[in-house]
Structure 1
Amino acid sequence: MIVGTAGHIDHGKTTLVHALTGVDTDRLPEEKARGISIELGYAYLDVPMLDERPGARPPEAGALPPRGADGIPARGLDRIGFIDVPGHEKLVHTMLAGASGIDFALLLVAADDGVMPQTREHLAVLSLLGITRGAVVITKADRAEPGRIDALRQEVRALLAGSGLEAAPVLVVSAPTGQGVRELRELLFAAARQQPPRASEGLAARLAVDRAFSLAGVGTVVTGTLHAGEIAIGDELALQGRRARVKSLHAQNRAVERARAGQRCAVALAGIDRDEAPRGQWLTAPAAALATDRFDAQLRLWPGEARALRSGARVHLHLGAQSVMASVAVLSEGDAIEPGGSGLVQMVCQATVGAWRGDRLVLRDAGATRTLAGGVVLDPFAPARYRRTPERLAELAACQLPTLARRRERLLTLSPLGLDLARFAQAEGLAEPLQGWALGEAPRAALTARLLATLADFHARSPDELGPEAGRLRRLVAPRLAEPLWRDLLDEARAGGRVVMRGGFVHLPEHGVQLSAVEQRIAQKIAPRLAAAGAEGAWARDLAKDCGEPEPLVRATLARLARQGELHQVVKDLYCDKATMNLLAAIARRLADEHATVTAAAFRDATGLGRKRAIQHLEHFDRVGLLRRVGDEHRLRADSALFAENSS
C-alpha cells in the first residue's frame, strides 16, 4: 500500500513519517537547512503478519516484523510505502507528481495553525484524484489546549463534507511525545491488510517516473509508482521511444526479482542515460507505449470554484507524474461545466503525454495558483473533428463502462467501420497486443446490405459490364473500411451465395446468366476474330458483318459475354478478349513497377499501339479499378487484384 501525506507547509508531515517509520525523508541539504520538503521523500514500514492461531495476541505496535536469515522480511509480508510531499504552494506540482499513485491519504492539520490554504488545495487534489481511503491527522497536539482540539475536529469535519474523504477518521497525534502514533500505525496496518490489489493480470507494465538519477556501478535508475502490470529483471521496457533493459529492481525499498502494480519501485536500466529519463515520462512495456497530444476525458469541476469551466480555458494538466499546459474543449451540452458538476471534455496539450483509459488527472489554473478540476481519461486517441457528434458521444459513454469486456462489446456495436483491436488494446494498456479488426453483428449486417444495394445499382447503370472490381466496389460501399474487414465481408457474402466473384470482378448471382444456344453459336464465331484483332479490338458492327449474324443479336451476345468476364468493352461497341486484356494489364503493371506511374507514351511504346487506342485502354483500366488517373499519369491501385495472376 502507498500512503501519501498531504497538508500545509510546516504542519508536520515529515516529522510524522519519521515517527512512524524512523526514516527522515528530507534528504536534500537545502531541505534540512530550511526545514521544509522540496522534493518527494520516501519511507517504508513493514506490516506485521497476523497470527491466526486461536488465542494468539496481535504483535506489539512498532515491533519489528519477522525476518529471514538474509535480513529480508518474511515472505508474504506486506510493506507500506510513504510518499512525503511538499506543502508549499509553489511546490504543488511536485505534490501532484507523487499523489497520482497513492492508495491511502493522510491529510495533516497542525493544531496550532488549523486549516490553511494548502490544506484545502491538497484535499481538493486528493478528492479529484478519486482517493476515498484515508485519515485526517491533527498534528502538534502538544501545542494546543483540549478545547482547541475539539473545535478543530469540528472544523475538519466541515472541511471534509462533500469530498472523497468525508467518512475518513480524525486522529490526534503529537510526534515528539508519541501521543496517537501507535493508534495511527495500527490504523495504517489495518488499511494495508484490507488494501485491494491493483489490477495487474492482462495489463502492461506502466511506471510513472517521478525521479531519475545515476549510481556508480549501476547506471541510470528511475523511481516511481507502478500503476499497472508487473516488471521483472531482464524485461525490455520503453521510455520516450527508447528501449531499455531492467538490470536490477527494488520494490518497496527491497531487492526483488519482480515488482507488481501498487508498489514503489526503483528500476536500474541498461541502454538509457539519466538525461533521457526526465520526471513525468512513463516507463512502459513496449506494446502499451503511447504518446498523445489530444485525449477525451470525464471531468468534475471542484465545488469551491467561483466560475464555470468553459471551452478555451488554458490550464496546467497533471497526469501521472507529468505536467503540461493544455486547453479545454467542453464536449457536453452547454459548452461549460458548472462548479461541482461533471462533463465530457477534450484536452489539447502543448506537449505529448502518456494517457491510458482510466488514468486520473488534475487541472490547475493557467497561473498555477489553484486546483480547478479532476477527472479520468476515456480515450487517448481523440479525434480533432466531429468530436461532439451524437455518435462520438455514444462512444465516450461506452468508454465509461466498468469492465473491459463491456467496453469492447459496446464499441463494436457503435463502430460502423469496425474496431481497431490493436488501438483498443493500446488505449486499455493491455499486456498482449491484439491484432486486426473486429466488426460487430449490426455493422456487419448494415455493410452487407449496402454492398448488395451498391451492386444492384451498378448493374442497373452498367448492364453490359460484369460488375465492379473488388477494390472499386469497396470504394463505392465503404472507402474507409479496413482492407482486412472488407475481404472478410466479401468472403462471407460469397460463401453465402449472395455475390459471385469472377476474376477480380464482383456481381450478383442473377447478373451472370448463362448463354442461350444461339448466343453460344455466335460466341464461337466471334472468338477467333477477337483473338486476331488483339489489342486493337473489334467493333460490334464489324463482328456482326463478318459473322453474317444480325447486329442486335451480336450486340446482346457481346454484352452477355462481357458480363461473364470473358470479354472487355474498352469503349462503347469496341471489345477485346480476355487473353489480350491480361497481356495489356501485365504491361501496365510492369511499367508501374519500373517507373511508379504509367504514361500514355510509355504504354503506347510498350504495346505498339497508336496513341488513341493506348489512351482508351488506360482509361478502361482506370474504370475497372486496375489504375487510377493522377493528372496525365496513371498509378497502379495497391488494393486491386485484377489480372494479378497474369502479371508475371
Structure 2
Amino acid sequence: MIIGTAGHIDHGKTTLVKALTGVDTDRLPEEKRRGISIALGYAYLDAGEGQRLGFVDVPGHERLVHTMLSGATGIDHALLLVAADDGVMPQTREHLALLSLLGIERGTVALTKCDRADAALRAARRAEIDELLAHTSLAGAPIFEVAATTGEGVVALRQHLLAQSRQMPARDVAGQGFRLAIDRVFSLSGVGTVCTGTAYAGEVRIGDELWLLPPAAGQVPQVARVRSLHAQNESVEHAQVGQRVAIGLAGLDKDEVARGQWLAAPEVAQWSDRIDVRLRLWSDEAKPLRSGTPVHVHLGAAEATGSVAILGGLDGQVLELVQPGAEALVQIVLHQPMCGWAGDRVVLRDASATRALAGGRVLDPQAPARYRRTPQRLAELIALSQPDPIERLRGLLAQAPAGVDLSRLAAAQGLARDARAPWWSAAVAPGPKEAKVAEAASDADAGDGLVGGSAEALSTGRIEGTADAAMASAWALGPMQAGVWEALALERLAQYHRDQPDELGPDLARWRRLSAPRLAEPLWRALVQRMAERGQVRLAGAAVHLPAHGVALSALDERLAQKVLPRLVESGFEGSWVRDLAGLAQESEALMRTTLARLAQRGELFQVVKDLYYAPAAIHALAQLARGAAQEDGDVRAALFRDRSGLGRKRAIQVLEFFDRVGLLRRVGDAHKLRADCQLFLDEGEPVKAA
C-alpha cells in the first residue's frame, strides 16, 4: 500500500514519517538547511506477511503543490496531518481539495504536535477537522493524536496503517500493460540511468522493453531495456501495479529523461494534446467553469498548461458551463502532449496555479478536435464512462456509426496484448436478451457485427503521432450499423447499374467512394466479403455487380473475342495493346476497344493502363509476384517486383499502380503497401501473405 502524506508546511509530515519508519525523507542539503521538504521523499515500513508500506512524503509549501500532486496521483491511502497548535491552515485545505479531486477515498488524519496542546485544544481541533472533512472524500476518516518527538500515539497510528494495508484487496495485475509515472531520475555507478515512480498498471520484468513517453516533438519514442528493478525498496525480478518502483534502464541517458514522462509497454504507448474527461468542479469555487478557461493540468507526475472546452452533461445534453460541485463531460486542450489512459485521474488548477479548481477521470486520451459536442460524440463519452472496459466497448459498438478502432481503443484502455482477444470476445458475446433478439430476427433484419483488420494489429496497437499510426488496424462494427452500411452499399450499386447499364459494375474502390467513403477500409473489405459470401453481390476480377446484372456480348463481340483471346494469353506479362489486337483481327481500333472494354467489364480481361489489356492468368501470376515481393513491413519494392517479373521499370510501375487501384495494394507516399487481408487474385483456399 502506498501512503501519501498531506498537510500544511511545518505540520510535521517528515518528522512523523521518520517516527513511523525510522527513515528521514529529507535527503537534500537544502532541505536539511531550511527544515522543509522540497522534493518527494520516500520511506518504507514492513507490514508483515510479505507486505511493505511505502510512504510518499510531499512538500507542504504552496509553491511546491505541483510536486505534491506528482506524488499523490499514485497513492492508495492519504495521511492528512494537522498540527494541534496551528489547526487547519491554507495548505491543509489545498491538499485536502487535491486528494478529493484525485478520488482518494481511503485516508487517516494525524493530529500532530499534541505535546503542544492541552485536552481542550485537542478536542477543538478534532471538531475543526470533522467539519473540514464533512463534504470531502475523506469524510469520517479516523483521527489519531500523535506527538512524533515524544512518541505519543505513533505505535497506534502505525498499527492502524498496517491493518489498513492488510484490508486492501489484492491488485489485479493481469490484463493491463505496464506503465510507470516517472517522478525522479538519477544515475548510479554500475547501473546507469534509474527512473523511479509509482506503477500505475500491469507488471514489468528484468529484460522487458519499455518506451519513454511522450517523445520529443516530431520524434518516435525512445526504447529502453529494463536492466534492474527495485520495488518497495527491495531488489526484485519483477514489479507490479501499486508499488513504488525504481527501474535501472539500458539505452537511455539521464539527460534524456524528465520527471513527468512515462515508461510504458509498447502496446499501450500513446500521447495526445486533447483529452476528454469526466470532470467535477470543486464545490468551494465561487464561479462556474466556462469553455476557454486557462488551467494547469496535472496527470500522473506531469504538469502542463491548457484550456477547457465544456462538452455536455452526464445525461448527454449540451452544456455551456459547469456549476461548483457539479460534474460534466469536458475536453482538455493541452499546450503540449501528455500521456493518459482511461480511468487515470486528472487535476486542474487555476491559471495562476494557486488553488485546486477541478478533478476528474480520463475517458478518452485520444480525443477528437472536430464534432466534439455532437449528440453522437456525447453518447460515445457516456459509453466510455462505464466502469469496465468490456462495457465500454459494448457501449461504443452500439453507438459508433462508422465502427470502433479496436487497436486504438485497446491502447487507450491500457490493455496488454494477451488480454485483447478475450476483451473483444467478451464484449461481443450476447447476453440472454440479445440472444433472443438474434433468434427472432432474420439475418437481413438483425445483421451481424463485423471485424476488419488483422489480429496482429489488434494485439500490437496503434501508436499515435508516429509513422506507425498509418499501419493497418483492427476495427469492429456493431450489428445494426453493419446492416445500415450494407443496405446503403447495395442501393448505391443498384443505382450504378441503372445509370451505367452497359457496364458490369464499379471497381471496389469506386463502389466504396459511392457508398461508404468514411467507413474504415478494413471494415469495408469485411463488409464486401460478407455480401459476396451471402450471394448478395458477385465479384468479377476487380469489379462488383448484383447477381441479376451482367454485360451481354453481341455476336460480333463473341467473334472478335475468339480471334484475340489466344494472343492475349500468349502475351503473358507484356500484355497486348488495342492497336495490335485490332491489326490481328483486321478490325478498326474503335470496334476492338469497345469489345475489349466489355470483356473487361465481365472480368474476362484486365485493363492495366489505357488500351493495354492482360489475360486473367497473367494478372493472377503478377499478383503472386507482388505478394512475394512484399517485405516484412508490407512494402512491395518496385525494383524487386521488376526483377522478379522481368518487366521494364515503366511497365512494372504501371502494373503496381493498377494493383493500387483495384485494392490489392495501397499507395502510401511513394511506396506500395500490400493489403494483408485482400482476397483479390487468390485461388480458393490459397492463404493471404501477411503484411
Structure 1 residues 358-385: Cα deviation after superposition (integer angstroms, max 9, x where no partner): 1001111111111101011111111111
AA at the equivalent of 1:440? G
Structure 1 residues 303-362: Cα deviation after superposition (integer angstroms, max 9, x where no partner): 011111111111110000001111111111232111111111111111111111110011
AA at the equivalent of 1:329? A
1:293 to 273, 289, 292: 273
1:248-397 → structure 2 map (5 Å cutoff): 248-332=228-312, 333-397=318-382
Alpha-carbon distance in structure 2 between the residues aligned to 1:126 and 1:569: 68
1:374-523 → structure 2 map (5 Å cutoff): 374-432=359-417, 434-435=458-459, 436-512=474-550, 521-523=555-557
SS at match of 1:356: coil
Report deviation, 1:472: 1.4
Contact 1:465 1:562 in 2 (8 A): no
SS at match of 1:36: coil
Q: Using a 3 Å threshold, how does the CA distance of structure 1 residues 443 and 140 change in structure 2: closer, same or farther?
A: same
Alpha-carbon distance in structure 1 between the residues aligned to 2:489 and 2:481: 12
Report deviation, 1:151: 1.3
Q: Does 1:126 align with 2:126?
A: no
Q: Using a 3 Å threshold, how does the CA distance of structure 1 residues 431 and 642 change in structure 2: closer, same or farther?
A: closer
Q: Does 1:247 align with 2:227?
A: yes
Q: Using a 3 Å threshold, how does the CA distance of structure 1 residues 160 and 582 change in structure 2: closer, same or farther?
A: same
SS at match of 1:331: strand
Alpha-carbon distance in structure 2 between the residues aligned to 1:174 and 1:578: 92
2:205 corresponds in structure 1 to 232
1:140 to 113, 123, 146: 113
Report deviation, 1:561: 6.2
SS at match of 1:266: strand
Q: TM-score, normalised by structure 1?
A: 0.81
Contact 2:200 2:242 in 1 (8 A): yes
AA at the equivalent of 1:282? W
Report deviation, 1:398: 1.1
1:598 corresponds in structure 2 to none
Alpha-carbon distance in structure 2 between the residues aligned to 1:146 and 1:642: 83
Contact 1:124 1:371 in 2 (8 A): yes
Report deviation, 1:176: 2.0
Contact 1:534 1:580 in 2 (8 A): no
Q: Using a 3 Å threshold, how does the CA distance of structure 1 residues 511 and 336 change in structure 2: closer, same or farther?
A: same
Worse-superposed segment, 430-439 or 124-133:
430-439
Which sections of structure 1, spanning at least 5 residues, go unmatched? 49-75, 596-605, 608-616, 628-634
2:56 corresponds in structure 1 to 83
SS at match of 1:33: helix
Alpha-carbon distance in structure 2 between the residues aligned to 1:82 and 1:636: 55
2:161 corresponds in structure 1 to 188
SS at match of 2:170: coil
Q: Using a 3 Å threshold, how does the CA distance of structure 1 residues 582 and 236 change in structure 2: closer, same or farther?
A: closer
Alpha-carbon distance in structure 2 between the residues aligned to 1:228 and 1:109: 32
AA at the equivalent of 2:131? A
Q: Using a 3 Å threshold, how does the CA distance of structure 1 residues 236 and 565 change in structure 2: closer, same or farther?
A: closer
Structure 1 residues 15-35: Cα deviation after superposition (integer angstroms, max 9, x where no partner): 111111111111111111111
SS at match of 1:152: helix
Q: Rg: which structure is higher?
A: 1
1:530-609 → structure 2 map (5 Å cutoff): 535-536=578-579, 564-566=602-604
2:20 corresponds in structure 1 to 20
Worse-superposed segment, 80-89 or 213-222:
213-222
AA at the equivalent of 2:338? V
Contact 1:249 1:265 in 2 (8 A): yes
Contact 2:102 2:345 in 1 (8 A): yes
Alpha-carbon distance in structure 2 between the residues aligned to 1:233 and 1:558: 65
SS at match of 2:287: coil
Q: Using a 3 Å threshold, how does the CA distance of structure 1 residues 534 and 318 change in structure 2: closer, same or farther?
A: closer
Report deviation, 1:529: 7.0
SS at match of 1:297: strand
Structure 1 residues 450-479: Cα deviation after superposition (integer angstroms, max 9, x where no partner): 111111010011010000001211122212
Which sections of structure 2, spanning at least 5 residues, go unmatched? 214-220, 313-317, 421-457, 460-473, 568-575, 627-635, 640-649, 665-670, 683-691
RMSD: 3.9
Q: Does 1:4 align with 2:4?
A: yes
1:198-217 → structure 2 map (5 Å cutoff): 198-217=171-190
Worse-superposed segment, 85-94 or 287-296:
287-296
Q: Using a 3 Å threshold, how does the CA distance of structure 1 residues 456 and 638 change in structure 2: closer, same or farther?
A: farther
SS at match of 1:16: helix
AA at the equivalent of 2:407? A
SS at match of 2:249: strand
Q: Using a 3 Å threshold, how does the CA distance of structure 1 residues 388 and 499 change in structure 2: closer, same or farther?
A: same
Alpha-carbon distance in structure 2 between the residues aligned to 1:157 and 1:348: 37
Alpha-carbon distance in structure 1 between the residues aligned to 2:598 and 2:223: 61
1:161 to 120, 131, 134: 134
1:611 corresponds in structure 2 to none
AA at the equivalent of 2:476? A
Contact 1:503 1:643 in 2 (8 A): yes
Report deviation, 1:637: 11
Q: Using a 3 Å threshold, how does the CA distance of structure 1 residues 524 and 85 change in structure 2: closer, same or farther?
A: closer
Report deviation, 1:505: 0.5
Alpha-carbon distance in structure 1 between the residues aligned to 2:663 and 2:224: 46
- Identity over the aligned pairs, expressed in percent? 54
Q: Using a 3 Å threshold, how does the CA distance of structure 1 residues 405 and 235 change in structure 2: closer, same or farther?
A: same
SS at match of 1:459: helix
SS at match of 2:204: strand
SS at match of 2:346: strand
